[in-house]
Structure 1
Amino acid sequence: MRGIRDWFFARGRAPATAAPRPSASELTRLSGDEGPHGTVSCDQLEESFYRFILNLPVDAGEQAQPALEQMLLQRLKDTCDSGRFDVRSLPRMPSVLPQLMRAMKSDTVNGAQLADLIRRDPVLVGEVMRVTGSVTYRTAHPIGSLQHAVVLLGQIGLRHVVTSYVMKPILMASAGNSGQVVGQRLWDHAERSAHAAVFLSKGQCDPFEAYLAGLVGFTGLGAIARLMDRGLGQDQPACSSLFIAGCARLAAQLTVQASRHWDLPPPVLDALVEQAESTADAMTLPMSRVLHVAQRLAMRQLLAEQGLLDGDTDYAGEAFSPFPAPLLARCRQDLRKNFAEP
């Protein structure tokens, strides 16, 4: 089978090298600097995010090769469509996770019962004990048991440990030369997205399920990165906006496939399916709307941290958000407080 490199660099064309971080003038263009305050559209925000995650150069302009891009997208589509992508290539979802999620949502489950569930996964036991032994949770008396550690963490702390233990290795599992870079960027966005989803979930949907949806929402993007990296390696070509949008659609489909494979809670899966099949203005499920807005606020936060977007730039999509502007402003402030670099 011809490699992806061949599709982009047919007929003896010299491969393009990976582009450096965009210059200040290019950043202004990515930020959509229009008017006195500057506004970035939803399309601009998403495209900048996908390019950053996939480590792709800025828009190719006249250098784009539409026919070759279409061929590559078709090859990716053939791999991803109809369940052809082997979701078993992703790290496993621990079998204890669904039971643990249900238990953490119950007001009647105590620390001893949670500890009994966690004991079924030795690696998770080690992670809980490691976190509670850190400076953040250090107490005057040594932690003598798993139950003590669970009580010390509390529901919020335990939720964070469990989901981080599960999802971070999955997102960091991108193979190939840029795997660590892509995986870390995916995890950074997932943390911010999950945090924003909890913030916006009040009165809309279950906060724990919103947190989980925020973590898994771009799992498929890592799979797309792996598929591309197998053929491209370090030679990442400039590519068009249409190519980026096509990759995003395929990534959403792979996210749904992976979530079904992991048997995630129905509300989470339903939201991911609606995201993959509907436009933002057509979403009807509360969790879908929470997830959509949380992901884009997280995109904005992450790009601002990386210097790829002016932190004061307005996001035009907020004007059409189902959430009131003051709530979105508070969510942005909360993201800055918890994630902005010192």
Structure 2
Amino acid sequence: MKNWINRLLSGAESQAPQEPGGARAGAALQDDAADEANEANEANTDVLYYRWLTGPAAFDAPPETAGLILEQVRQLAQNPGVAAELVPRVPELIPKLLRSLRDENVTSAELAGQVAEDVVLVAEVLREANSAYYRPMTPIKTLDAAIMLLGQNGLRMLLARVAFRPVIRMHEAGFARRVAPLLWNHSERCAVAASLMAPGLTADIFESCLAGLMQDVGLIVAFRLADRICQNGKVPDSSAFGLDLMAHSRQLSAAIAAYWDFPENVSDAIAQAGNPDGSALAQALAQGDHIAKLRLLIDAGVLPEDDPLVSNGLNSFQRRCLGKLSNLDQ
């Protein structure tokens, strides 16, 4: 996987009326209150998400066990080459196709010919084109028609999802094996939601998709470490541990992305996603991550559709994005 994504994305003020000091202070207080409310909503969602991920596999671990897991995740973030060896590489066909998609002169027939080299990939493209997400008027039965419907950006994002699936959904033992499909569901939804948030934040759509797919790589590595340390198929149930684990795992994901030669702004966005002052790409990723978690919690029956975390925590566009994510598996 190393290098392939990098190749892919090779005086008037003084005359203005002054705002009264009290009004400025009031606006600042309102902004601070809104930021605090958003942070609280995200933290509450993250706690619910961690408890849903762990489910009955959570146990009351000794503090030293939880501390050892977090310390090893931190150490891996300082040695991403070792961490990268814990996840598989992508199929060679995927980077070849993604490079072709950079060429504005490539034809649909040429793309179809490359996709046709992999029967699994053909099935994925046809399934995507016929999904409720795209809502075709009539069933799409040919590869050419499917590629025309998806467009180059849609095809790029689909190929990236296909490339990352074995990275997240690796065959494991213990808790990591149980949680991998759940993390993949989040990765897919995070990638789509982040790409939908990107235009309004002037972030790149495809880079937002890549960041969304990459963010959970560190977490699956962290759960593998937890399996080795706990040796009981379970993980610590502490909410504080869960929040710390997700934060440290995000830094691990960013380190692996940099090691794999992702564009620097993508790896930086993953590292900054928890920072409200991060880049536009980091904000798109953070919003996509939050919306994806809410979607999974609602679908699992943990939250109702009208929960305050949704009705008060999301704006109207984000709520529409939340609804669109429900169609991904159809």
TM-score, scaled to structure 2:
0.71
Q: Hey, what's the Cα distance between the residues in 2 that align with 1:89 and 1:157?
A: 29
Query: Are 1:331 and 2:321 an aligned pair?
Result: yes
Find the counterpart in structure 1 of residue 198 from structure 2. 201
Which residue of 228, 232, 238 corresponds with 1:240? 238
Residue 270 of structure 1 deviates from its aligned partner by 2.8
Which residue of 268, 277, 280 corresponds with 1:282? 277
Residue 174 of structure 1 deviates from its aligned partner by 5.5
Task: Provide closer, same or farther for how the CA distance between residues 136 and 318 of structure 1 changes in structure 2, counting only shifts above 3 A.
Answer: same
Find the counterpart in structure 2 of residue 224 from structure 1. 222
Residue pairs, 1:80-95, within 5 angstroms: 80-83=77-80, 85-95=82-92
Q: Hey, what's the Cα distance between the residues in 1 that align with 2:244 and 2:141?
A: 53
Conserved in 2, the CA contact under 8 Å of 1:210 and 1:287? yes
Amino acid at match of 1:315: L
Find the counterpart in structure 2 of residue 130 from structure 1. 123
Residue pairs, 1:1-342, within 5 angstroms: 41-55=41-55, 65-83=62-80, 85-95=82-92, 97-98=94-95, 100-104=97-101, 107-115=104-112, 122=117, 125-131=118-124, 136=130, 150-151=147-148, 154-155=151-152, 158-173=155-170, 175-203=172-200, 204-236=202-234, 238-275=236-273, 279-283=274-278, 285-315=279-309, 325-336=315-326, 338-339=327-328
Amino acid at match of 1:299: K
Q: Would you say how many aligned residue pairs link Structure 1 and Structure 2?
A: 285
Q: Hey, what's the Cα distance between the residues in 2 that align with 1:133 and 1:83?
A: 36
Task: Provide closer, same or farther for how the CA distance between residues 76 and 288 of structure 1 changes in structure 2, counting only shifts above 3 A.
Answer: closer
| Matched position secondary structure for 2:174 | coil
| Matched position secondary structure for 1:281 | coil
Q: Hey, what's the Cα distance between the residues in 2 that align with 1:291 and 1:246?
A: 19
Task: Provide closer, same or farther for how the CA distance between residues 40 and 136 of structure 1 changes in structure 2, counting only shifts above 3 A.
Answer: same
| Matched position secondary structure for 1:188 | helix
Q: Hey, what's the Cα distance between the residues in 2 that align with 1:164 and 1:51?
A: 26
Which structure 1 segments of 5+ residues have no match?
1-38
Residue 281 of structure 1 deviates from its aligned partner by 1.8
Conserved in 1, the CA contact under 8 Å of 2:169 and 2:180? yes
Amino acid at match of 1:108: N
| Matched position secondary structure for 2:296 | helix
Which structure 2 segments of 5+ residues have no match?
1-38
Give % identity.
Answer: 25
Conserved in 2, the CA contact under 8 Å of 1:105 and 1:208? no
Name which of structure 1's ranges 248-257 and 230-239 shifts more when overlaid on structure 2. Answer: 230-239
Amino acid at match of 1:213: A
TM-score, scaled to structure 1:
0.69
Conserved in 2, the CA contact under 8 Å of 1:90 and 1:170? yes
What is the Cα-based RMSD across aligned positions, in Å?
3.7
Residue 85 of structure 1 deviates from its aligned partner by 3.3
Name which of structure 1's ranges 126-135 and 171-180 shifts more when overlaid on structure 2. Answer: 126-135
Q: Hey, what's the Cα distance between the residues in 2 that align with 1:189 and 1:339?
A: 11
Conserved in 1, the CA contact under 8 Å of 2:253 and 2:270? yes
Conserved in 2, the CA contact under 8 Å of 1:53 and 1:182? yes
For residues 49-71 of structure 1, the C-alpha deviation after alignment (integer angstroms, 9 at most, x for no partner) is 1233345667x7xx663344324
For residues 139-195 of structure 1, the C-alpha deviation after alignment (integer angstroms, 9 at most, x for no partner) is 99985xx76775575435533541232111111016212344211101111121122
Q: Hey, what's the Cα distance between the residues in 2 that align with 1:140 and 1:332?
A: 25
Amino acid at match of 1:183: A
For residues 14-59 of structure 1, the C-alpha deviation after alignment (integer angstroms, 9 at most, x for no partner) is xxxxxxxxxxxxxxxxxxxxxxxxx97221211221233345667x
Q: Hey, what's the Cα distance between the residues in 2 that align with 1:196 and 1:141?
A: 25
